[in-house]
Structure formats: C-alpha cells, structure tokens
Amino acid sequence: MNERLAAIEKVIAQGPYADTWESLANYRVPEWYRDAKFGIFIHWGVYSVPAFDNEWYPRNMYMPGSKAYEHHIATYGNHKDFGYKDFIPLFKAEKFDLQAWAGLFERAGAKYVVPVAEHHDGFQMYRSDISHFNAYEMGPHRDTLGELKAACEARGLTIGCSSHRIEHWFFMGHGRDFDSDIHEPLQKGDLYWPAMPEGNFDDLFSEPAPTDEFMEDWLERTCELIDRYRPRVLYFDWWIEHAAAKPWIRKLAAYYYNRAAEWGMEVVINYKHDAYLFGCAVPDVERGQFADVKPYFWQTDTAVALNSWCHTEGNEYREASDLVRDLVDIVSKNGCLLLNIGPRADGTIPEEDAAILEKIGGWMRHSGEAIYGARPWRKYGEGPTQIAEARFTDGIKKDFTSADIRFTTSKGAVYAIVLKASADGKYLIRSLGEQDPGKPTNFHGIVRGVTALETGAQVPFTRDGEGLRLEYRTDTDMPVAFRIDVD
C-alpha cells in the first residue's frame, strides 16, 4: 500500500464513519444545503477550445463517422498529428476574471457553486500532485478551482466541486482503434491513461471493469480534492454505480464525512441512479425532476443550454422564465437546483449565459423569500400540467397555465407561486379554499393577508369553498409569487 492510500485508510479508521453502508446511513443532509436551494454548476475545460458538439468532444473526436471526428479532421487535421492533448496549449483562460464570475453568481441569487474539477477528459482544473496534466502546470497555468473558491467564499457563496474521473476509464479508448496519438505505452498519470474499451454504460457489470489500480488512482485524486480545497459539496457524475466501484465509493464517503467532522463542516455528496445506498448521500436527477413531493431531499442538475454542458458555438438556450419555473417546482417538492453554465476557453462567460443568470437573479431578489430556507407545504401544488418524471426531460416544453401553482412554507407563512401570470389578473388557489365537509383537503386556517412579492403590494382577496381568489395584474413572463399570511 502506498503512502497516500495508507493515509486515507487511517482517516477512515479513526473517524466516526466506517466504509460500510450501515455506518454511512448515519449521514444527515445539512440544513445549510436544504436552505440554499439554488447553485451554479460550471463545465469549463480543454473541451471548451474546440467549442464543438459538446463536452464529449474528446471522446467523439476519436470515433470515425461521428460529426466531431469529421469536424476535427476538417479543422485541425489528422488525429496522429493533432490530438486532444494539443488543445491544452490553446486553453489559455487569458480573460478569466474570477471576481466577475463570483459577482455574477451572487447577483444570480446562487448560494453554492460547483465547478467541474476533472471531467471525463482527464484534465484537472486545479493544482495536483498526482498528474502533471492540470491547469496549474499547463494551459492557463492557474489554480482555477482554488482561485474561484477564494473569490466565491469572499462573497458568502459556498464552494463545491465535481469529479467525473471514473468515466475516464473508457473515455479516450476509441483512439486506440486507429492510427491516432493515443497509443502504447500509456502510463498512470498520463492524460490518456488508461483508454480502455468502452462497454455498455447501463450494465453494472460491464467489461472490462475498472481495475483496482485505476480505482486507487480515482480515490487518491478525489481525496486530494477534499484535502486541498475542502469542498462542501462533492458531485459525482453517473457510472460510479458500476459494481467495481462500490467498495471505493464507500471508502470515499467515509473519508469525506470523517474529514468534514474533523474540520467542523457539514458536507454533501451528490450521486445519480442508485450508486450510493439510499440515505447515505443526496440523490441527483440529471436534466429532469420528480412528479411529486419527496420525503427526502434531492437535487436536479440541468444547464442553460439544451444541447451541451460546455460552451459550443451555436448553443440552444433555455428561457430564464422556464428555468425559474423548474426551480419553483423542484423546491416545492423538497429539492434544489444546480444550474450549469459553460464559459469560453478564454475564461469569459458567454453573454447568453450571463443574461439568463441576471434575469433569474432579478426574480430571486424580490421573490426569493418563497425559495430560500423554504420547506414543502402540506401539498406541493395544484393545476392541470403534469411533470414527466424521467431524466433528460428539460427539453420538453411545459405548457403551464395560471392554474398551475406551487406551494412552499417558510417563517410562518405559506407561499403560493403561480407558474404563469394570468392574462386577466385573476387567480383561484383551490387548495386554500374554506373548509367544508365536501372538500376535507382545503386549508382550515385563517387567511390574514396576501402580498405580491414582485411589488410588495397587498393583494385583494376573497375566500369561499372553491378557493382563495386573488386579483393582481402584472405583465411579467416569470412566475408570480404570493405570500399568504395565515393563522
């Protein structure tokens, strides 16, 4: 056992958490995270240089017949002469202004920030002692993660990071199928290592399975991130659910939770599918959400662009209003939203990404009290529009109406958030109708007053057995939030 692994085992042995599901089940989701509700995800790396297709360009450029492969040959030439590694010197981040980034995230209303520390391509966006292929020694020659952490924390934002390292097992493997710059000998620590054949992504026992040597490297890299940057959120992409990874993700969780206990921190692991045993970490739904409220806390991660997580030329952007509607729906169902942007290779945030964040921030400044620190009400909402409960549903247009309403509760008030403004300024909130024997689900309390958070104006209301009736006119394309003061 090498020195790094021995140190990891020592932390696991001496802390309150052991690397067993039974022990890890004692984990509790921190209140700061449940209160935060909205975070920023950042996909930025060497793949931002070609800015073509999406962040899987480093894999797809080595797949004959793919549009990335054809684009690469037409733009950069033969793979043997110009491979993925040759983009690194072009990744200069010469306009990377971390104060501008942190300021934008603060204005957007985000409470936590999760930059990608290492994507599937194997290039580390931080200073590392494990591989020379990192942003501190190559490309920008800056510790981008460390610098961003300092800038965000100075503004009161919580910093996390994500690791997509495990997919690197197969990510560059197609480059071995023809005469490219990916060839033997590949050694541990190289950018392309191990470049193994790609199996079935959905098969938990796919072959070739990650080896102990690769998983040891994965564990060492992730623990280095924890020790050097002390992230309060550690996000994992899919595929850590592979059978070969199970013992290693248990070790990682025990190490992280023990370090957090040692440092007096409360931390979060995000995972997809059923990689972690339920209750040991926080489940994440990629580009989708749940149809109903959940008794456990969860997260959605999605992006401002539908076609890519990183910056590409010609990104297809979502409307800020649609993203706020998703945020409201998710929070009403006991979740939070991690929203991704994709900076350019030079370090600038595209105008489209920034405009979306600014508009979200404008809404959060007047209506955020219905979101931050909120908890689910007795029901998540009402209305005719159904939510598809599946991954990759964020591209499906949701035709919300003024009858689609979501509820939260916070600081003694109930919040009713109408997902689309009414054309005539009239609203009927059925769940807050007066109690009667025929409608036992109605609210049996007293409504003292209604405030429109957009303007702070008191809203005229009446109440009968059918519902709470409001009159409030607005021309906004964003959700309309009302604070209902009740006894």
Helix (H, G, I), strand (E, B) or coil at 329: helix
User: Among all chains, which residue has been given the structure tokens 């964003």?
Assistant: 478
**CATH classification number, 376-486, choose in 3.40.640.10, 2.170.120.40, 3.90.550.10, 2.60.40.1180:** 2.60.40.1180
- pLDDT at residue 246 is higher than 90: yes
459, burial (CB in 10 Å: exposed 0-12, middle 13-18, buried 19+): middle
Retrieve residue 390's tokens. 């599946």
Contact 232, 268 (CB under 8 A): yes
One-letter amino acid at 236 equals F
Q: Which of 330, 339, 86 is CA-nearest to residue 235?
A: 339
Query: pLDDT tens across 458-476, in order?
Result: 999 999 989 999 999 999 9
State the DSSP code for 66.
S
Contacts of 404 (CB under 8 A, 6+ apart): 381, 382, 383, 384, 385, 418, 419, 420
Name residues whose C-beta falls within 8 Å of residue 265's C-beta, 6 or more positions apart in sequence: 230, 232
Fold match flag (3-286 vs 376-486)? no
> Is the CA virtual torsion 152, 154, 160, 165 positive or negative?
positive
Look at residue 396 and tell me whether its pLDDT is greater than 90.
Answer: no
Average pLDDT score over residue span 413-426? 98
Helix (H, G, I), strand (E, B) or coil at 101: helix
SS3 72: helix
Which residue ranges make up each domain of the chain?
3-286, 376-486
What is the tens place of the pLDDT at every residue in 127-152? 999 999 999 999 999 999 999 999 99
Look up residue 453 and give its DSSP letter: T
Annotation: CATH topology of 3-286: TIM Barrel (3.20.20)
User: Environment class of residue 460 by beta-carbon count within 10 Å: exposed (0-12), middle (13-18) or buried (19+)?
Assistant: exposed
Model confidence band, residue 439 (pLDDT cutoffs 50, 70, 90): low
pLDDT 10s digits, 177-217 = 999 999 989 999 999 999 999 999 999 999 999 999 999 99
Percentage above 90 pLDDT, the chain: 94
pLDDT band at 440 (very low <50, low <70, confident <90, very high): low
Q: What angle do CA 352, 158, 297 make, to 5 degrees?
A: 90
Query: In the Cβ-directed half-sphere of 351, how many Cα atoms lie within 13 Å?
Result: 1
* Measured distance between the N- and C-terminal CA atoms of the chain, rounded to whole angstroms: 63
Q: Name the residue with tokens 């456990």.
A: 296
CA distance 17 to 7: 15
> How far apart, in whole angstroms, are the C-alpha atoms of residue 36 and residue 270?
15
For all residues of the chain together, what is the average pLDDT? Answer: 96
Least confident interval from 53-62, 333-342, 397-406: 397-406
Structure token pair of residue 37:
């509700």
Q: Which residue has the tokens 């700061």?
A: 32
Which helix (H) or strand (E) is 35 found in, with range? helix 31-36
Is 435 a residue whose pLDDT tops 90? no
